[in-house]
Amino acid sequence: MRNAPTILHLDMDAFFASVEQASKPSLRGKAVVVGGLGPRGVVATASYEARVFGVHSAMPMAQARRLAPNAAYLVPRFGLYRSISEQVMALLRELSPLVEPLSLDEAFVDLEAGGTAWDEASARLAGVKLRADIRAGTGLTGSVGLAASKMLAKIASEEAKPDGLVLIEPGTERALLGPMSVRTLPGVGPATGDHLRRAGITTVDELAEAGEDELVRLVGKAHGHALYAMALAHDERPVVAERETKSVSVEDTYDVDIHDRIRVGLEVQRLADRCVRRLRGAGLSGRTIVLKVRRYDFSTLTRSETLRGPTDDPAVVREAAARLLDPVDTTGGVRLLGVGVSGLADYTQEDLFAQAAGEGADPSAEEAVAEPVAEEAARAERRWPSGHDVRHTEYGHGWVQGSGLGRVTVRFETPDSEPGRVRTFRVDDPALEPADPLPLVSRRQVDGEGGADGGLEGAAHSGGGSGGGVE
């Protein structure tokens, strides 16, 4: 391990929910839950105000509604989240060429590789400035951990949440980790944690005292060796700038099981098209097509077919997915469908349409079939998703508070306005239309408030920021 805390871990605080609060003045300081709103939806992110009621990520949405019935429940706006994530990642790349994104809201940075930090003082300054720049540029907060290894930097950022900075000084790692729960360590989930607890091991100190041989006996060779190394605070993993994408996939969970075989086939075609759009957006192609089907009884089938070479042709992927679906029994009902592509490459093989659809097939005919499917899916979707942006010709910019029974309720406000008024319209009101999200921070604010915020210094010492749920 290093002798200076020059690995930084950034974790944005309740990212999706914080974006929604920043864009909607009426929701600031209130419980906000973002995720799928259907009967089978799950929570993507809950604001810290919602976490007080026990709501957390990956919880069934129905359970979240029981725990926090008065929270605001919103449909995700992934396009906006990605654009803000790109802003944050650009700030990280100003610190170092070695940035390892883990998700839209989380990344490791090797400060030493960028010449940004070489000791404790310079690392702390880099962390303080980063948090200030994120706040100035996006209006959001992020928690920062600084340590001599990736494992400890991530643990530090968890200790810093929300809106704090924690630096672990080299040489103090063992003393810090010792009293912590074994669940603090990466890879120790509920099942492994329970298994260790039954063996009388609940803290990292007890893990180290058990010894490597005992851990191998308890959890297996590979996991046992890794656990023992982590208990001793050993972690030599480098920050890797480019993480190889292994697959691209999309899936949908349906509020009501699909029994109609024709509808199942149409859904698979729609998913195949979505998957190809995502594939092309990443500049990739792939040669293995994967179909996932979860049936009414929760049994899940995965089927795959490998082509002669990589493709990003929607007709090829649709045809392969249809062939994979053909032998699958769906008579009892389907609750989830997914289509994916793996075996990725950055080129395509132009003659692959023939192998999937036949030499004499007409690609334009396949595209013609897809158009009605897409139109039908668009009509089936909710026209006014909760939380999404709209514009009214008279009242201006707002967001959907709810819809149903032919009506849509809109709150008219913007990120830099006061909490706005609520009005209700017919869902087909010609004066109301979907709109693009507004920037969370105006250019005027960015130009006038750039630079580090002195108020952040107080939270930038070891132990700064309170503990909280990790997103």
Token pair in block for residue 268:
């698979």
**Is it the case that residue 379 has pLDDT exceeding 50?**
no
Q: What is the 3-state secondary structure (H, E, C) of 84-135?
A: HHHHHHHHHHHHCCCEEEEECCEEEEECCCCCCCCCHHHHHHHHHHHHHHHH
Nearest C-alpha neighbor of 279 from the set 328, 240, 241, 318: 318
Contact indicator for 289, 339 with CB cutoff of 8 Å: yes
> Residue 282's pLDDT is what?
82
Token pair in block for residue 204:
């990292």
Contact indicator for 11, 45 with CB cutoff of 8 Å: no
Dihedral in degrees, nearest 10, Cα atoms 15, 20, 21, 23: 120
Q: What angle is formed at CA 262 by the lines to CA 256 and CA 267, rounded to 5 degrees?
A: 60
Q: What does the pLDDT look like over 166-191, one tens digit per residue?
A: 999 999 999 999 999 999 888 788 88
Q: What does the pLDDT look like over 225-269, one tens digit per residue?
A: 888 999 999 989 999 987 667 889 999 888 888 999 999 999 999
Half-sphere exposure of 79 (CA within 13 A, CB side): 7
What distance in Å separates the CA atoms of residue 228 and residue 222, rounded to the nearest whole number?
10
> Residue 388's pLDDT is what?
95
Q: Beta 72-74 vs 32-35: how paired, if at all?
A: parallel
**Residue 395 pLDDT class (50, 70, 90 cuts):** very high
| Max Cα distance, the chain (Å) | 72
> Residue 445's pLDDT is what?
56
Q: What is the 3-state secondary structure (H, E, C) of 216-245?
A: HHHHCHHHHHHHHHHHCCCCCCCCCCCCCC
What distance in Å separates the CA atoms of residue 271 and residue 231, rounded to the nearest whole number?
44
**Is it the case that residue 157 has pLDDT exceeding 80?**
yes
What distance in Å separates the CA atoms of residue 320 and residue 272, rounded to the nearest whole number?
9
> Residue 317's pLDDT is what?
94
Q: How many residues does the chain have?
A: 471
Q: Angle at which helices 314-325 and 261-281 pack, to 10 degrees?
A: 140
What distance in Å separates the CA atoms of residue 164 and residue 466, rounded to the nearest whole number?
7
Contact indicator for 256, 380 with CB cutoff of 8 Å: no
> Residue 444's pLDDT is what?
53
**Residue 345 pLDDT class (50, 70, 90 cuts):** confident
> Residue 141's pLDDT is what?
96
> Residue 344's pLDDT is what?
84
Positions marked active-site: 106
Token pair in block for residue 100:
């390892």
Mean of the per-residue pLDDT values of the chain? 85
What distance in Å separates the CA atoms of residue 22 and residue 15, rounded to the nearest whole number?
10
- What residues contact residue 85 under an 8 Å CB cut-off, 6+ apart? 104, 105
Contact indicator for 315, 373 with CB cutoff of 8 Å: no
